[in-house]
Homo-oligomer: A and B are copies of this chain.
Amino acid sequence: MDDDPTTEILDATYQALCTHGYAEFTVQDIAAESTMSKASIHYHYDSKEDLFVAFLDYLYDRYTAQIEAVTGETPRRKLRSLLELLVTDNGETPETEFRTAMLEVKAQAPYNEEIQERLVEFDAVLFERLEEIIEARVSRGEFTGRIDPSVAAESLTTTITGAHTRRVAVDHSTDKLYEMMTRYIQTNLLTEMTVEGRQ
């Protein structure tokens, strides 16, 4: 375990959020998930709101590191690994509950400027990473010349967001969504030459 007490608090926040959801979780629930008391948590964070904003910043750092670390021999494989990271899930309980809690947080964004600012950062970093990979593909000739990288990145950012929402709201299989997106890329973004394994 990390020795930094704030890291312990933020890890416990993740657990409390999965168990209770955003509206319901309390600093007491976080204490219950950690070795710390409610008082020691309040020593680090004045309110649940402050703590939650710090939690989003912590998630953002991990998220950025994960999407930057996506590898692949070609831009195309990189794009596929990125979708795999973001869209598939292994059906484990905490992951499903975390997605649900994050959708709840998104619905709170119009009422909380600090939360909305963070969500805008998550959205922007995904868009930029997608655009960067697609630009590299266009310059390698893997893409049809008709593709504008910023339009394709905008479209994929929206589709990935929709995949997360449908996963929670209508229990839509992420495998089906992942398959749809890889077919979308194969059918719409790749030049005939680079299509491999089309169904």
Residues in chain A within 8 A of chain B (CB atoms): 23, 96, 100-101, 103-104, 106-107, 109-110, 116, 119-120, 123, 146-148, 151, 154-155, 157-166, 168-172, 176-177, 180-181, 183-184, 187-189
- Count of chain copies: 2
Known: A147-B187, A151-B180. A165 touches B168 (CB 8 A): no
Main SS at interface, chain A:
helix
Q: Are A107 and B104 in contact (CB under 8 A)?
A: yes
Chain B CB within 10 Å — which of A103, A163, A171 has the most?
Answer: A103
Report the 8 A-B pairs with minimum CB-CB distance, sorted nearest first: A162-B162, A106-B169, A161-B162, A158-B162, A104-B107, A188-B188, A103-B107, A123-B170
Question: Which residue of chain B is the closest to A187 with respect to CB atoms?
Answer: B146
Known: A151-B184, A161-B162, A165-B161. A172 touches B103 (CB 8 A): no
A165: contacting residue among B120, B165, B180, B181, CB under 8 A: B165
Q: Please indicate the chain B residues that have their CB under 8 angstroms from the CB of A187 in the complex.
A: 146-148, 151, 188
Given the complex of chains A and B, what is the CA–CA distance between A109 and B109 in angstroms? 19
Q: Please indicate the chain B residues that have their CB under 8 angstroms from the CB of A110 in the complex.
A: 96, 100, 168, 171
Question: Which residue of chain B is the closest to A162 with respect to CB atoms?
Answer: B162
- Subset of 8 A-B contacts with CB under 8 Å: A106-B168, A110-B168, A116-B169, A120-B170, A147-B187, A161-B161, A187-B188, A188-B189
A119: contacting residue among B154, B169, B189, CB under 8 A: B169
